[in-house]
Amino acid sequence: MMAGRENIQDLKEPVLNPNKPTEEQPEEPETDPVAMKRRDLYTTILRQPIPKGKQPSDKLFHSLNKHLQAHTGKELFECSDCGKAFFSRAGFIVHIRVHGQKKPYECSECGKHFRRSSHLNNHSKIHAGVKPFQCSDCGKTFSRSSSLVSHQHMHTGEKPYHCASCSKEFCDKYSLMRHERLHTGDKPYKCTECGKSFNQSHHLITHKRSHTGEKPYVCLLCSKSFCDRSTYIRHQKNHMGEKMFKCSECGESFSRNKHLLRHQRIHTTGELYTCSDCGENFSRRSGLKMHQKIHTGEKPYECGDCGKKFNRSTNLISHQRVHTGERPYGCPDCEKRFSRRSHLVSHQRIHGQKKEMPQGLLHPPAGVYMPTLFITTL
């Protein structure tokens, strides 16, 4: 037991100061009030009874040194950029990376950088597919315990994070942080190519594809590709004629919410665009302009193969399939293909009123969720 107490004297460490040389420091004089305070505290701890089979913790004395530094008021590691002070060199080194944006820890899988090795380790679990934390309510698994805790708030309905500006509530702090940027206007994610900034990281990722030309979301019906998932999904709904947004006033349905909002102006404000030639009304100015080409005979879209002209770009695209032989719309029942969706819809009346599209036909890129889509004949 006494041997353990003798070893305690070796655990006392001099206070680390970066402004002093690293050679051995002289022993502190007895008249130094800090040294006397340290001696008294060490003596007090040594006199405390130690449970049988236990040894004093060196961590205890290391923390004691830190505690005594706090009493001195000396800020040993001070940041020259913001004035923030630290009692440990490790904390100071981590902090200065914030100013220099230094992220020395790189993921070997995707190239993403991190300021701390622990952050890299947590991130690496995503690539490894390691998800040891499972929700007891629904069985969903997560790579981080914090993600599981945030997820469980969905089951309990708990929203502990409150916005100070508008009192809106959130399940996790990251959703709150993203929301608060709407109030502050903060856009921390900046494109290195053009300097444009964004308030969310995934918006920056999508934007960068406009520079690289990358379009990972490909429609298997018409081979058109997209740089972001939301546009891809909207495009698929157009193929299927799916109209999820219904007007509560007249029952008319639309494939996009913005089209519904535009339509609702008719009911709320009575705002309409009227053709001066035939009196037909339109809810959009663009719709009126498109219509007026019928009266003027304007056909600005010309086929490069045969010279035929059209008043709409969509009509030109459909016409060009005559020359290319492209038939992107396939019937899932008999494998017959068509150059226009309207021709496919007419053909499907032979097979029945409602057909579910096979998953392989509308299979999205890997990792992207898509609901089962239907074609309903008119």
The CATH number of the domain holding residue 313 is: 3.30.160.60
Instruction: Return the beta strands (E) in 250-336 as ranges.
Output: 253-254, 273-274, 281-282, 301-302, 309-310, 329-330
- SS (HEC) of 274-298: ECCCCCCEECCHHHHHHHHHHHHCC
**Is 95 within the bounds of a domain?**
yes
**Rounded CA separation 316/306 (Å):** 11
Tell me whether residue 118 is in a domain.
Answer: yes
DSSP β-bridge partners for residue 162: 169
Q: Which of 2-11, 81-90, 321-330 has the lowest mean pLDDT?
A: 2-11
220 CA to centre of own chain: 26
Q: Is residue 369 part of a domain?
A: no
Among 114, 130, 146, give the residue marking a domain's end: 130
What is the identity of the amino acid at 134? Q
In a domain, 92, yes or no: yes
Rounded Cα distance, 369 and 363, in Å: 9
Instruction: Tell me what pLDDT residue 42 has.
Output: 52
Whether 261 and 248 have beta carbons less than 8 Å apart is answered as: no
Q: What percentage of the chain exceeds 70 in pLDDT? A: 66
Q: Which two tokens stand for residue 70?
A: 């706090």
With bands split at pLDDT 50, 70 and 90, how would you rate the model's confidence at 120?
confident
163 located within any domain: no
pLDDT at 292: 81
pLDDT in tens, 136-170: 888 888 887 888 888 888 888 888 888 888 888 88
pLDDT of residue 8 exceeding 60: no
Residues 338-365: what's their mean pLDDT?
A: 64
Quote the pTM value. 0.36
> Who's near 320: CB < 8 A, 6+ residues apart?
303, 305
Alpha-carbon distance 365 to 236, whole Å? Answer: 13
Domain contains 283: yes
Over 70: is that where the pLDDT of 370 sits?
Answer: no
What is residue 35's predicted lDDT score, i.e. its pLDDT? 53
Three-state SS annotation for 191-212: CCCCCCEECCHHHHHHHHHHHH
Chain center to CA of 186: 16
Q: What confidence category does residue 363 fall into, taking pLDDT thresholds of 50, 70 and 90?
A: very low
Tokens of 74: 């000396």
pLDDT in tens, 275-321: 888 878 776 777 788 888 888 888 888 888 888 888 878 888 888 88
Counted domains in the chain: 2
Residue 283: CB atoms within 10 A of its CB come to 16
User: CA–CA separation, 217 vs 239, rounded Å?
Assistant: 15
Among 130, 153, 172, the domain-final residue is 130
pLDDT tens, residue by residue, 18-76: 443 444 444 444 455 555 655 565 555 555 555 555 555 544 544 554 565 555 555 55
Compute CA 155 distance to the chain's CA centroid, rounded to the nearest angstrom.
Answer: 22
118-138: b (≥16 Cβ within 10 Å) or e: eebeebbeeeeeeeebeeeee
In a domain, 292, yes or no: yes
For position 17, what pLDDT does the model report?
39
- Domain of 84 in residue numbering reads as 77-130
Torsion from C-alpha of 322, 323, 324, 327, nearest 10 degrees: 10
Instruction: Look at residue 173 and tell me if it is in a domain.
Output: no
pLDDT of residue 365: 46
Mean pLDDT of the chain: 71
CA distance 323 to 144: 55
Q: What pLDDT score was predicted for residue 378?
A: 41
- What number is the average pLDDT over the span 343-367? 59
Q: Tell which of 130, 150, 167 closes a domain.
A: 130
Greater model confidence, 99 or 134: 134
Distance CA(257)–CA(106), nearest Å, equals 41
